[in-house]
């Protein structure tokens, strides 16, 4: 198992294998998105309190899930890079940051749109909203720090330390609605309960959640392939790839 992981972690092997894997992420993403949107917009019933406006939940909630999931991947990848000095782990962390920032921004924007008719305002300094905004700042700080050094190794190590320290924000986001009196509703789905009122709502949420995970996988692999070519530009195999496609 470890030998297989080491083989896949080789930049050259990763570049070759990832090309074959990407379609297996893109196709499920397209199918799950189409089915999930149909289920959420057509099949799921009107909410008895919020009417049709609640349907933005099928974008907002999965985007919020992904904002935390990708940050966890980023921090773990950075930790693997620091401990085992695996270059590909740093690559995964680096290319994940903009994707995670985009999902976080999407969660904040859709949350504001959803909150306006419910709360009467686009934004409140609620614990959940504020901690999610801090997550966006952590992504931006990670990207800025990664570009602040001329030495790529130093940049990767420094930004990875920042990412690991920033992990403290994830439980704050998750438990903020329990620790403080907030306007934001509790978790839509948890281990012990489901907050959504109808099975069709839950199905749509889970479908979109899976779709976004496949989207992240595809985007991460595509961006990682490009980043590997940059980090390994002096390698003979990269020069061969450039010649074949140039």
Predicted pLDDT of residue 6:
65
With respect to residue 34, please indicate whether it lies within any of the assigned structural domains: yes
With respect to residue 6, please indicate whether it lies within any of the assigned structural domains: no
Helix ranges (DSSP H) in the chain: 2-9, 11-38, 57-84, 87-119, 127-146, 152-165, 169-179, 199-231, 236-245
With respect to residue 4, please indicate whether it lies within any of the assigned structural domains: no
With respect to residue 9, please indicate whether it lies within any of the assigned structural domains: no
Predicted pLDDT of residue 192:
47
With respect to residue 183, please indicate whether it lies within any of the assigned structural domains: yes
| pTM of the predicted structure, to 2 decimals | 0.92
Q: What are the tens digits of pLDDT across the range 9-65?
A: 788 999 999 999 999 999 999 999 999 999 999 999 998 888 898 899 999 999 999
Which two tokens mark 16?
Answer: 């070759």
Question: Among 229, 241, 237, 227, which Cα is nearest to 90's?
Answer: 227
With respect to residue 237, please indicate whether it lies within any of the assigned structural domains: yes
pLDDT above 70 covers a percentage of the chain that reads 89
Q: What are the tens digits of pLDDT across the range 110-134?
A: 999 998 888 888 888 888 899 999 9
Q: What is the number of structural domains in the chain?
A: 1
Predicted pLDDT of residue 109:
97
Segments forming the whole domain that contains residue 227: 23-241
User: 5 pLDDT exceeds 90?
Assistant: no
With respect to residue 18, please indicate whether it lies within any of the assigned structural domains: no
Write the DSSP string, 28-87: HHHHHHHHHHHIIIIISPPBTTTBGGGGGHHHHHHHHHHHHHHHHHHHHHHHHHHHH--H
With respect to residue 207, please indicate whether it lies within any of the assigned structural domains: yes
């Amino acid at each position: 198992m470890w030998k297989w992981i080491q083989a896949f972690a080789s930049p050259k092997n990763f570049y070759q294998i990832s090309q074959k894997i990407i379609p297996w992420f893109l196709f499920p993403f397209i199918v799950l998105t189409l089915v999930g949107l149909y289920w959420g917009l057509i099949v799921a019933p009107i909410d008895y309190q919020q009417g049709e406006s609640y349907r933005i939940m099928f974008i907002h909630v999965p985007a919020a899930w992904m904002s935390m999931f990708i940050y966890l991947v980023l921090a773990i990848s950075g930790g693997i890079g620091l401990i085992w000095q695996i270059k590909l782990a740093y690559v995964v962390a680096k290319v994940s940051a903009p994707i995670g920032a985009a999902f976080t921004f999407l969660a904040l924007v859709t949350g504001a749109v959803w909150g306006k008719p419910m709360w009467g305002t686009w934004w409140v300094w609620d614990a959940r909203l504020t901690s999610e905004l801090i997550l966006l700042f952590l992504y931006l700080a990670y990207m800025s720090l990664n570009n602040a050094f001329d030495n790529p190794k130093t940049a990767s190590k420094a930004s990875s330390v920042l990412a690991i320290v920033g992990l403290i924000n994830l439980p704050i986001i998750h438990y903020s609605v329990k620790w403080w009196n907030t306007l934001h509703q509790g978790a839509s789905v948890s281990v012990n309960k489901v907050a959504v009122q109808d099975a069709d709502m839950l199905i749509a949420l889970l479908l979109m959640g899976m779709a976004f995970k496949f989207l992240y996988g595809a985007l991460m692999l595509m961006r990682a392939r490009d980043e590997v070519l940059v980090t390994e530009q002096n390698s003979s195999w990269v020069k061969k790839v450039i010649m074949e496609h140039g």
